[in-house]
Amino acid sequence: MTPTILLVDDNDEILEFLAGELGDQYHVLKATNGQEALTIIAQEAVQLIVSDVMMPEIDGFELCRLIKTNFDYSHIPVILLTARNTLQSKIEGLKLGADAYIEKPFSPEHLQAQIANLISNRVKIREYFANSPLVHIKSMAYSSADEQFLESLNETIRQHLDDTELDVEKLARFMNMSRPTLYRKIKAISNLTPNELINITRLKKAAEMLASGQHKVYEVADMVGYNSQNNFGRNFLKQFGITPTEYMSIKKGEAG
């Protein structure tokens, strides 16, 4: 799928220029001020925001602050563009959670490289989390709000791992969130559905237990909510590229 990028600038000429430069690679949305930008991200799934700093009413700094402190949007990377090239303004932008800061005048190639890096890095981190048995869910957090959410989510799933019927409905209830909000947030951060994330969390807990060497495979399968050892083994192999028995042997060798 083509990533959706939101461009925010009160200068129509710059907005059209950037849209023309980025339109071949991305689905581009445009806003002429911060308030309009907030309205758009409330309605659209935006993967990245490029915003000018100097704008009337809600400027780029304030827009960045509002995004990074809002639970629903805090995962969205923000690139700030500014003609104010003082060190102090850079520090201010980064303190507010900006993911990159580009001084005007800038080359379109530089902006494109920053956008591509931010998007591809997130994809790599998501894949690393999903495919590595012992990597913590917090590795996907890009803001303190995301980190707190992921910590709470991980803890909640782990508390109910023995429930073979655990699904997004139950999880939303345990998290005191609406099902659509929980689904949207998990998908935005991890690119996984809640049910996929529940399954990966089961398998990661299983990996911890297998690594300890204190349980047999069938015991671990049961303890993390699998009715069938065969089903557990197939899922473990599919997710991590190794069977539970092979994984135990490797960990035993490392410990020895």
Q: What is the pLDDT along the chain (256 residues), one digit of tens a residue?
A: 789 999 999 999 999 999 999 999 999 999 999 999 999 999 998 999 999 998 988 999 999 999 998 888 888 999 999 876 667 777 777 777 889 988 888 899 999 999 999 999 989 999 999 999 999 999 998 888 889 999 999 999 999 998 989 999 999 999 999 999 999 899 989 999 999 999 999 999 999 999 999 999 999 999 999 989 999 999 999 999 999 999 999 988 887 6
Residue 78: the pLDDT is 95
CATH 3.40.50.2300 residue ranges for the chain:
4-127
Are 8 and 60 within 8 A, CB to CB?
yes
- The CATH fold of domain 135-255: Arc Repressor Mutant, subunit A (1.10.10)
pLDDT tens, residue by residue, 108-153: 999 999 999 999 998 999 999 999 999 999 999 888 888 999 999 9
Tell me which residue of 14, 12, 62, 58 sits closest to 33, measured CA to CA: 58
Looking at the chain, how many residues does it have?
256
CATH 1.10.10.60 residue ranges for the chain:
135-255
pLDDT tens, residue by residue, 79-103: 999 876 667 777 777 777 889 988 8
* Rounded-to-integer distance, Cα 153 and Cα 242, Å: 26
Pull the structure tokens for residue 201. 């969390």
CATH of domain 4-127: 3.40.50.2300
Cross-strand bridge partners of residue 243: none
* Rounded-to-integer distance, Cα 131 and Cα 73, Å: 26
3-state secondary structure of 209: helix
With a threshold of 0.95, does the pTM exceed it?
A: no
